[in-house]
Amino acid sequence: MASEEKSLHFIEQIIEDSLANGFPQDKLRFRFPPEPNGYLHIGHAKSICLNFGLGLKYNAPVNLRFDDTNPAKEEQEYVDAIKEDLKWLGFNWSEELYSSDYFQQLYEWAVAMIKNGKAYVDSQSSEDMAIQKGTPTQPGVDGPYRNRSIEENLTFFEGMKNGDFPEGSHVLRAKIDMASTNMLMRDPLMYRILHRHHHRTGNEWNIYPMYDFAHGESDYIEQISHSICTLEFVMHRELYDWFLDQIYDENKVRPHQYEFARLNLNYTVMSKRKLLQLVQENIVNGWDDPRMPTISGLRRRGYTAAAIRKFCEVIGVAKRENIIDVSLLDFCLREDLNKTAPRVMAVLDPVKVVITNYPEGVEEWLEAENNQEDESAGYRKVPFSRELYIERDDFLEVAPAKFFRLSIGNEVRLKNGYIIKGESVIKDSNGFITEIQVTYDTDSLSGSGSEASKRKVAGTLHWVSISHAVEAEIRLYDRLFIDEAPDSHKEKSFLEFMNAESLQIVKGFVEPSLSGAKIGDHFQFQRLGYFVVDKDATDSKLVFNKTVGLKDAWEEKDKKEANLLMNTQKEINKYVKEKDEKNASLLLNTIVENIKSIDNFSLLCQTLVKNVKNDNNSLLFANLLLHFSVKVKANDIDLEIVHKLYTMSLKSQLATVRIFVLLNLKRDLVNNSVFEAQITELRNTEKNEKVLEVLNSI
């Protein structure tokens, strides 16, 4: 059966059109051009897979070129990390190059541009230059140094190169068009003075080229045919072409810039500056902290290169920006690990189980399948004995009807082992269960073929034998942010959305087959999720990182919170209709507790905004959200929406709405004064005693 042919994405179509129009295939050349000012993150992975994927598809070379033109932010550490990430992802570059390789050539081109009247040295302050450049709707004006003589410009530029001037005193600008509708064309900067040590050229240079000048010219030097970048560079394309116009030789390949939509992932920040802030403020433990979206962090967390490449393939290459759900990345990971990760048993929150009718001092070695998805994975032996550990939440002394785990009087199967029945518990002086006593069915060994072994029971539990268990440190990682768009909210820092439970460290116990596990080894802890051996592990101490759960807990949480808000709105309707004051108070308490329990900031904001409409119950819900949520404040909502809410609520026929809008206004110091006249009017007309009581407190 023929495999389904994949359609071309738009970049591939551009290349196909180039070839169809006579561009020689052996002249195709691509590049991946990171700036070594931080570690690569998952967003870069999309660009890496695109550029190197094109190289593989068209059998064309792909250069790794470091755009190292800003020594103030760049370090050799970042260069080394980027190379390691690329190799780990499975890609090999044709040549390792640096923009700094071309500093002399770029300088010579800049001198030629000065001589041709296409560049000049500007001595204005950066503030004056910003004013002089105008605005998107107002053209710029010529600066006082725009018409310096060629000789004077050459003298100043050479002095800049020789280190004769302090940083910020002069810049070299291209002379293009101060009235251009594209502000980037209004005499952009080409060089600035930086007396900084460069990680490759040392202190040789005192001037460094700006990205827009160096990038396209570097592409030209390397004879890159298709220069692929993200959509924020669309407006830069005109400048890219203008700089090429100054040096282009028609006998050479002229690079062309094409833009695609970058990867935007929810529950994540992608800004290198913000990621660096997390590192510098010790909010995370370095660039490779397993909670970071960096490739090194994902690798340490246990994500596989194959899963990341698959993720980039699934999301595709598009021209329009969109937000990708991080659960898709986790789905790709589960698919990969499900095929390759051995199944083992580990207990993370242990409680002791004693099988009272199992002989003391006896042990059995039971056969366990390593991975049912991989026939070649084979089997291993796991030890079984009288005393075991199971997960504490796998037992309830008195269980509800749909509890399918161990309880007194009920049976469960131990994975690969026997059926056991809960008999009694031992508790400490605080009532905490320290031991569960059970009996086992001696004829019920899994896979033995006996009638008892075929008996159906409520559930199957994982376990480890206490006398054989290997102690391990288990690091339970979760998403770093609790909001789906942590850096998109006005008046709020992305740090306000940190997940306080993004890392929990517990002492667990694993089966003895893991005693020889090596750093980077992946496992599925049965019923718990996928885990990887961390680099902190030693011969004497095992350390595991939780990579991902077997199910998407966040999707379930989001659905749960969305459903809770929907049900809370129904409770509002009941509350408004309730005549009995005691019942109404109970309903209000439930509503308040529900609102306080919601973590999803974006969901709360969206729900609040949707309920700002001319309906008493909706207005009440919106005011209660604003008053009782610990996540949302008035300044988190668009000012026009807030004013609309306050205006309609002050006129509401429902006294409870008027009470809560007044309480909200009382603590909203920013907007309180705007509504003074309406509050005064309400004070003169209000008849409800409870509303008057609140009015008198303002």
User: pLDDT by residue (tens digit) across 471-521?
Assistant: 999 999 999 999 889 998 877 899 999 999 999 999 999 999 999 999 999
The answer to whether position 466 is within a domain reads no
The answer to whether position 672 is within a domain reads yes
Question: Which one of 200, 262, 381, 651 is the catalytic residue?
Answer: 262
Residues 449 and 499 placed together within one structural domain of the fold: no
Annotated binding-site residue? 41: yes
Question: Which one of 133, 186, 272, 413 is the catalytic residue?
Answer: 272
Please name the residue that has the structure tokens 């603590």. Answer: 667
- Indicate the pairing of strand 171-174 with strand 189-193: antiparallel
Annotated binding-site residue? 230: yes
CATH number at residue 547: 1.10.1160.10
Annotated binding-site residue? 46: yes
Average pLDDT per 10 consecutive residues for the chain, totaling 698 residues: 68 96 97 97 97 97 98 96 98 98 98 98 97 95 97 98 97 98 98 97 97 97 97 96 96 97 94 95 97 98 98 93 92 96 98 97 95 91 98 94 93 97 96 97 94 92 98 97 88 91 97 96 98 97 97 82 90 91 92 92 91 94 94 88 94 94 90 89 90 88
The answer to whether position 411 is within a domain reads yes
Annotated binding-site residue? 226: no
- Indicate the pairing of strand 323-324 with strand 96-98: unpaired
Residue type, 283: I
35 is catalytic: yes
664-671 long-range Cβ contacts below 8 angstroms, 24+ apart: 664/623, 664/626, 664/627, 664/634, 665/698, 666/694, 666/697, 666/698, 668/634, 668/642, 670/634, 670/635, 671/634, 671/639, 671/642, 671/643, 671/646
Annotated binding-site residue? 181: no
| Torsion angle in degrees (nearest 10) through CA of 621, 622, 627, 633 | 150
Annotated binding-site residue? 673: no
Beta bridge partners of 171: 122, 192
Residues 589 and 663 placed together within one structural domain of the fold: yes
The answer to whether position 36 is within a domain reads no
Beta bridge partners of 544: 474, 533
The answer to whether position 241 is within a domain reads no
Annotated binding-site residue? 209: no
* 655: Cβ contacts below 8 Å, ≥ 6 apart: 688, 690, 691
* Domain C-terminal end among 516, 551, 586: 551
CATH number at residue 172: 3.90.800.10
Residues 582 and 494 placed together within one structural domain of the fold: no
Residues 562 and 673 placed together within one structural domain of the fold: yes
**Predicted pLDDT of residue 5:** 60
Annotated binding-site residue? 211: yes
Cα distance between residue 417 and residue 355, in whole Å:
12
Going across the sheet that includes 62-66, the strands are 30-32, 62-66, 96-98
507: nearest Cα among 344, 346, 290: 346
Residues 524 and 565 placed together within one structural domain of the fold: no
* Domain C-terminal end among 461, 489, 522: 461
The answer to whether position 469 is within a domain reads no
Annotated binding-site residue? 47: yes
499: which DSSP letter? -
Query: Structurally, how many domains does the chain consist of?
Result: 4
Domain that holds residue 277: 272-339+474-551
**CA neighbours within 13 Å on the CB side: how many for 622?**
29
272 is catalytic: yes
243: nearest Cα among 185, 183, 160, 157: 185
**Predicted pLDDT of residue 15:** 97
172: nearest Cα among 132, 112, 244, 123: 123
Residues 318 and 351 placed together within one structural domain of the fold: no
Please name the residue that has the structure tokens 């100054």. Answer: 246
The answer to whether position 547 is within a domain reads yes
564: nearest Cα among 592, 543, 535: 592
Q: Could you read off the pLDDT of 167-177 as tens digits, one per residue? A: 999 999 999 99
Return the structure tokens found at 645: 């809410």
CATH number at residue 419: 2.40.240.10
Residues 607 and 542 placed together within one structural domain of the fold: no
Annotated binding-site residue? 263: yes
Residues 321 and 436 placed together within one structural domain of the fold: no
Residues 321 and 441 placed together within one structural domain of the fold: no
CATH number at residue 568: 1.25.10
518 is catalytic: no
Residues 300 and 433 placed together within one structural domain of the fold: no
Residues 684 and 569 placed together within one structural domain of the fold: yes
Annotated binding-site residue? 67: yes
Residues 589 and 664 placed together within one structural domain of the fold: yes
* Domain C-terminal end among 551, 575, 597: 551
Output the pTM of the full model. Answer: 0.86
87: which DSSP letter? H
The answer to whether position 122 is within a domain reads yes
Are the C-beta atoms of 664 and 626 separated by less than 8 Å? Answer: yes
38: nearest Cα among 206, 288, 229: 288
Question: Which one of 29, 31, 35, 186 is the catalytic residue?
Answer: 35
Are the C-beta atoms of 191 and 209 separated by less than 8 Å? Answer: yes
